[in-house]
Structure 1
Amino acid sequence: MDSMEAPSPSFQPPSRSSQQLHFYLAVDRPQFKMETVVELLGVLGRRPLLPIVVCCSSRDELDAVCSSLSTLPYISLAALYSDLAERDRTTVLEKFRQATINWNQQGLEKSVTGEEEEKSHLVVVTDVCLPLLSSGESSLSARVLINFELPTKKETYTRRITTCLASGGIVINMVVGGEVTTLKSLEESSGIIIAEMPINV
C-alpha cells in the first residue's frame, strides 16, 4: 500500500494507566485517509468491547466515515449528528456508556455474553454534537479517540479529548502531509507531545 505501513495485528489497545497518549498517523494523500482508518479499525475492532470514538469536522465527513466502516464485522457502529432526534441521541450515549462500563469490568468478571455484546463499540461524532458536559451529559470515556480531521484550534482539540476520551486513553490524529504545521502548532499551544504512531503501541 502506498499510503502507509499498515499497523501490525499485534497492535495493543491502551492500558488502564491514567496517562493519555497522543499520536499522529501520516498518510501521503487525503484519499488514503479513509482506507487507513478502515485498516486501523479493522485491527482495533478485533478487541472485544473496546470503546472507540471517531471525531469528524462536518456531517459530510461523518456520513463518509460511517459508510466506509459499516461493513466491519467486529464493530457496533452508531453516530451523533445535528438532526438526530433527542431520544435517539440519548440511546446512543447510554449504549456507549454501558460499553465503557463493560470494558472497565472486563477481566474482573465476564458480565456480557453473545456475539453482539462482544463487538467493539464505535461512535462517530461531529464537533457540534460532542457531549455537552455543562448540560449534564457525561463524557464518552472512550479508550481510543481518532481525529479523522485534525482540528486547527487548540480549543477544539481539547474539547474532543475532554468530552470523548477516558483517562489512560489513546488519541490517534490522522494527518495529511500539509497538516504537519498544524500538528506542531497544536503541540506548542496545548503543551501536549504528539508522537508519530509506532507500529506497536
Structure 2
Amino acid sequence: MAEAVGPVGLHHYYAAVGNREAKLATLLELLQALQATTSRRHLAICCSARDTLDAVVHALLQTRAFAVTAIHSDLTEKERELALTNFRRGAFGPASTGQSSAAGPGGGAEAGSLRERSGLDVAASRDVEQLPCVLASTDVCLKALPKELLPVGVSLVVEYELPPSKEVYSRRMQALFGGGKDRRAQRCVVVDMVEAGAVGAFRALEGFAASPVLEMPVRVEDMFTARS
C-alpha cells in the first residue's frame, strides 16, 4: 500500500455521471489518472450485481493496464480465498470476463491470471507485476470472505454501485479498510459513482457515510494529499 501524504482517516468523494456508459468511461479515466501518478496504489471496486461486475472487469482487462482480481459467486470458497490472498501479495487471482453482453462474442466465464489470459512471456510478465492491482467484488462475496483475510488493506475504494443500505456500506468499509483504528492509521479514500437517476440513493448515503461526501477534485492525486 502506498504511504499516505495527506491527513489520515476516511475521506469520501463522489463523481457525478450522466448514465451507465458514462460511468464506465469515468471509472477508466479515474484509474488511468491514478496510474499516471508516482504512487502505485491497490484499490477495490464494489458492485451490487454480478452483471455490473462482469462489465467492469471486462473493460479493465481490455485496457491491459491493470492487474485485475475478480471475486464472484461462480468461484468456490477456496478459489475466492486464494484470489484475495494473491491480490494482497500484489499477484493475480482468478478473474472473469463473465457472461454479460459486455464480454462480447464467446465471452464466457474464465478463471486465471491476467498474465495467463494475455499469453505474456516471462519478460512481459515482470512488467505486468508492476501494474496497479484492482480487486473487483460483489457485495455477496465480500460478505462471505473469512475474517482472517480481512481487512483487505487497499487505499482506495470505488463504490461503482452505491450501497443500498447502511449495513452494506459499513460492511464494505470494514472489509476493505478495517475498523476505526485501521482507518485512523492511514489515508482511506472512497469514491462514489453517482448516476443522474440515483440522486435519492446518494442523499441516503450522505446520511450514513462515515465522513462528509465531497465532490471529487479535478486533480485526482489531491484526494490523497488534500487536508479537507
TM-score by length of 1: 0.78
The answer to whether the Cα contact below 8 Å between 2:85 and 2:149 also exists between their aligned partners in 1 is no
1:60 matched residue in structure 2: 51
Q: CA deviation at 1:187?
A: 1.8
- 2:71 corresponds to 1:43: no
Alignment partners' CA distance in 2, 1:15 and 1:91: 31
Closer/same/farther in 2, CA of residues 88 and 141 from structure 1, 3 Å limit:
same
Equivalent residue in structure 2 for 1:175, among 183, 190, 194: 194
The answer to whether the Cα contact below 8 Å between 2:87 and 2:133 also exists between their aligned partners in 1 is yes
The answer to whether the Cα contact below 8 Å between 2:10 and 2:211 also exists between their aligned partners in 1 is no
- 2:173 corresponds to 1:161: yes
The answer to whether the Cα contact below 8 Å between 1:131 and 1:137 also exists between their aligned partners in 2 is no
1:186 matched residue in structure 2: 205
2:22 matched residue in structure 1: 32
Alignment partners' CA distance in 1, 2:213 and 2:200: 12
Partner amino acid for 1:68? A
The answer to whether the Cα contact below 8 Å between 1:133 and 1:139 also exists between their aligned partners in 2 is no
Alignment partners' CA distance in 1, 2:210 and 2:172: 16
TM-score by length of 2: 0.69
Partner amino acid for 2:29? E
> Hey, which bits of structure 1, 4+ residues long, moved more than 4 A?
131-135
> How big is the alpha-carbon RMSD for the aligned residues of Structure 1 and Structure 2?
2.6
Q: Which runs of 5+ in 2 are unaligned?
A: 92-124, 223-228
Q: Which runs of 5+ in 1 are unaligned?
A: 1-12, 101-112
- Once the two structures are superposed, the pairs formed by residues 3-152 of structure 1 within 5 Å of their partners are 15=5, 17-46=7-36, 49-99=40-90, 114-130=126-142, 132=144, 135-152=147-164
> What's the % identity of the aligned pairs?
31
Alignment partners' CA distance in 1, 2:146 and 2:81: 16
Alignment partners' CA distance in 2, 1:159 and 1:16: 25
Partner amino acid for 1:187? E
1:4 matched residue in structure 2: none
- The structure with the largest strand share of the pair is 1
Corresponding residue pairs, total = 178
Alignment partners' CA distance in 1, 2:88 and 2:6: 17
1:142 is paired with a residue whose SS is coil
Q: CA deviation at 1:195?
A: 0.6
CA shift digits 1:113-170 (9 cap, x unpaired): 9322211000110000115466433111111100111112111111111111363221
